[in-house]
Structure 1
Amino acid sequence: MPNFIIDCSENVTRLKTTAEIMQEVFEAALSTNLFTAPEIKVRIHAFSDYNNGNTQDDFIHVFGYIMEGRNAEQKGNLSKVIVTKLKDLLPQVPSISMNIQDFEKESYFNSKSI
């Protein structure tokens, strides 16, 4: 925990490697001091087929899933830090966004809980 899932247009992965993009998200999340390095998980999906406002403009959207307990200011800062770092890395991408959703402690379970 947390999980960051990056959706992007395939062309974005031609501008920077998937490893570079994922590392930027990892380092940005770590820099907020909300998580430790072993907790952070990052994955990426690159789409060749998409409709972005009836265009083929490049995009990045990060879905952040974190355990509940952080306040709105912390979550807002997390989104801002990650989007800012991605914009610095890929200034030519016109649409970079992020949202955060909370996992509820009562309903979250993983194999380490067994």
Structure 2
Amino acid sequence: MPHCVIECPASIEAAVDLDILVKTVHDAADSTGIFTPGDVKSRLKVYQHDMVGGRKDDYVHVTIGLLSGRTDDQKKALSSAVARAVCELLPNVHFISVDVRDFCLETYSNRASLDRLAGQAAPARI
């Protein structure tokens, strides 16, 4: 946790290497100190068909999902850190946004939680 999902148009690749964009978001989230090192997960969705304000334009939107329990101040620090890092990376992109959303702890499932329910140890991370 968290999951950082980056969305942007294919045209953004003319402005930045997409791996660098993913690393920038990932490192910014990791640098907040809110999460255990190694827990940040980041991925990118590139769109071919999109519009901003009724026209084609570059944008980057990051949705960050995390388990409930963080304070509003922590979530604001996270969104600000990620937004600031993307703005610095892409100074000519005017539409940059970050949204932090809580996953409901009571209903969220992953392999580790399923293994705990079954009484098994979660597989070691590689």
TM over 0.5: yes
CA–CA separation in structure 1 for the residues paired with 2:16 and 2:53: 23
What is the CA-CA distance between 1:14 and the residue it aligns to? Answer: 2.3
- Could you tell me which residue of structure 2 aligns to residue 2 of structure 1? 2
Runs of 5+ in structure 2 lacking a partner? Answer: 116-126
CA–CA separation in structure 2 for the residues paired with 1:35 and 1:13: 29
User: Following superposition, which runs of at least 4 residues in structure 1 exceed 4 angstroms of deviation?
Assistant: none
- Could you tell me which residue of structure 1 aligns to residue 121 of structure 2? none
CA–CA separation in structure 1 for the residues paired with 2:39 and 2:29: 10
Q: Deviation per CA, 1:28-59: give whole Å up to 9, x if none.
A: 01111001232100000111211211011100
- Could you tell me which residue of structure 2 aligns to residue 67 of structure 1? 67
**SS of residue in 1 equivalent to 2:99:** strand
- Could you tell me which residue of structure 2 aligns to residue 80 of structure 1? 80
| TM alignment of 1:33-72, pairs within 5 A | 33-72=33-72
Structure 2 residue identity aligned to 1:62: V
- Could you tell me which residue of structure 2 aligns to residue 92 of structure 1? 92
Structure 2 residue identity aligned to 1:84: R
Verify the 8 A CA contact 1:57 1:94 in the aligned structure 2. Answer: no
Normalised by the size of structure 2, how large is the TM-score? 0.86
- Count residues with an aligned counterpart: 114
Query: Among the aligned pairs, what percent are the same residue?
Result: 32
Structure 2 residue identity aligned to 1:74: Q
Higher relative contact order, structure no. (Cα contacts within 8 Å, ≥ 6 residues apart)? 1
Normalised by the size of structure 1, how large is the TM-score? 0.95
Structure 2 residue identity aligned to 1:50: D
Larger radius of gyration: 2
Pairwise CA RMSD of aligned residues?
1.0
Structure 1 residue identity aligned to 2:77: N
Verify the 8 A CA contact 1:13 1:46 in the aligned structure 2. Answer: no
